[in-house]
């Protein structure tokens, strides 16, 4: 199993990092984890889009889905006739919004039934195609003044490995899925909303093989910040890295 880090930044693109998007590769199939603007980079990398089986969006913030329309347009235009891409969204209404957007762009979405299958994520194991199994764990990132909306972390199971992908978390880190992290081989955790100092004792208790920080906030951009990050995390009993756009990790 490989994960290509297409974008590793937070909500505002910076000279160092684009918005969040990652491509999971297993069994010659591709799966997109969040789809910020750099999701289109996978086309530039000349990765066969016909292998894209599903897209999973952790929550409905623009920096996690604003590259999705371009990916879906590409699938409608160029994927094989019998190709199907499942689009897993955290809110049912989001599927209608994307269908409307694609129709407004005069794409023949209604004339191509079966090309895109719109699905709604639910807590627990919600996806299993024989190559990849996904569990959604609710988080509180979208508990905002306007209301409480779904947001998820994912437990990714493939090739005998388990990787926890946190999505975005609450600022107090209280919704970090500790139980699932304890059974995972590796973890990809966001580093914009959480405070690293408060989280380090939790991470230090986990039996991980690798910890990767993505969705990296401004405090951790630049050479000096990365030195500071390395100093703070050096006591963790496993490999800990700060992800950059274009990194590829094997599990």
Q: Which domains does the chain have, with CATH numbers?
A: 2-176+243-250 (3.60.15.10)
25 backbone dihedrals φ, ψ, rounded to 5°: -125, 125
Q: What is the DSSP letter of 14?
A: -
**Residue 105 pLDDT grade (very low, low, confident, very high; cuts 50, 70, 90):** confident
Q: Are the CB atoms for 59 and 91 separated by under 8 Å?
A: no
Categorize the per-residue pLDDT at 22 as very low, low, confident or very high, splitting at 50, 70 and 90: very high
pLDDT for the residue numbered 15: 84
Average pLDDT score over residue span 115-119: 92
Q: Which residues pair with 155 in a beta bridge?
A: 135, 164
The proportion of the chain whose per-residue pLDDT surpasses 90, expressed as a percent, equals 73
Report whether pLDDT(111) > 70: no
Q: Judge whether 110 counts as a catalytic residue.
A: no
From the list 180, 193, 120, the residue with the least C-alpha distance to 153 is 180
On the question of pLDDT at 115 being above 90, the answer is no
pLDDT digits (tens, 9 = 90+) for 199-243: 999 999 999 999 999 999 999 999 999 999 999 999 999 999 999
Residue 93 has pLDDT above 80, yes or no: yes
How many Cβ atoms are within 10 Å of 179's Cβ, its own excluded? 10
Query: What is the enclosing helix (H) or strand (E) of 138?
Result: strand 133-138
What was the pLDDT predicted at 109?
A: 79
Mean pLDDT in residue range 54-67: 96
pLDDT digits (tens, 9 = 90+) for 144-184: 888 899 999 999 999 999 999 999 999 999 999 999 999 99
Instruction: Tell which wins on pLDDT, 108 or 88.
Output: 88
Mean pLDDT in the chain?
92
pLDDT of the residue at 110 = 73
Catalytic residue among 34, 63, 168, 245: 63
Of 132, 115, 30, 36, the closest CA to residue 78 belongs to: 115
């Amino acid at each position: 199993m490989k994960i290509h880090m297409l974008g590793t930044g937070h909500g505002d693109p910076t000279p160092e990092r684009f918005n969040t998007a990652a491509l999971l590769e297993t069994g010659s199939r591709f799966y997109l984890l969040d789809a910020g603007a750099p999701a289109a980079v996978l086309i530039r990398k000349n990765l066969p889009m016909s292998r894209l089986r599903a897209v999973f969006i952790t929550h409905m913030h623009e920096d996690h889905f604003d590259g999705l329309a371009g990916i879906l347009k590409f699938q409608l235009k160029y994927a094989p006739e019998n190709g199907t891409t499942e689009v897993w969204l955290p809110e049912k209404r989001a599927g209608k919004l994307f269908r409307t957007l694609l129709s407004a762009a005069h794409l023949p979405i209604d004339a191509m039934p079966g090309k895109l299958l719109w699905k709604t994520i639910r807590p627990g194991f919600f996806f299993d195609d024989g190559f990849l199994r996904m569990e959604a764990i609710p988080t509180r990132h979208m508990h905002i003044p306007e209301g409480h909306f779904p947001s998820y972390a994912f437990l990714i199971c493939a090739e005998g490995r388990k990787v926890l992908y946190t999505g975005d978390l609450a600022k107090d880190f209280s919704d970090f899925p500790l139980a699932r992290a304890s059974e995972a081989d590796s973890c990809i955790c966001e580093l914009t909303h959480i405070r690293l100092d408060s989280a380090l004792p939790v991470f230090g208790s986990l039996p991980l093989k690798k910890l990767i920080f993505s969705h990296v906030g401004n405090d951790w951009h630049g050479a000096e910040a990365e030195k500071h990050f390395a100093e703070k995390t050096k006591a963790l009993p496993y490999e800990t890295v700060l992800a950059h756009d274009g990194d590829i990790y094997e599990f």
